[in-house]
Structure 1
């Protein structure tokens, strides 16, 4: 059996947390501890990060297309699904 060379006492660091830059709002909402003792509980929730909600959101569907059609649109580069949507709108006259 191979031996684990990493010490169990080494703290685990979440790689996703390394890129987060805390804002003033985050600091104000965070729980405050002094050692193990909770001084101030967290206040509320943070706003979600991401795109603003669309007034006319897209709907996900399953659509079967010929492989050469898909490859043709993909070969045009990024945004191929948007281009398919535009071509369908043109075909429907909308």
Structure 2
């Protein structure tokens, strides 16, 4: 997880933009995305990432729970999603 530190000036500029109503933000230099791009959209954390194939020993009951609750998705994906949330929460606490 990459964290970028913003300068004080950048933070002030972002705060000023955040305070503007959407209709007052000049977006004329940003072209409209083609409609076809919608089919390429991915939810954050659900796109293709560089996986690091590691073997991890998990208790059988934990794996069983994830298999039952994966909602039709591969249970490994669900385990990764839960671990990613945990890591993000832990990183937020550290910041």
**TM-score computed with the length of structure 1 as normaliser:** 0.37
Q: Which has the higher helix share?
A: 2
The structure with the largest strand share of the pair is 1
Greater Rg, structure 1 or structure 2?
A: 1
What TM-score do the two structures reach when normalised by structure 2?
0.37
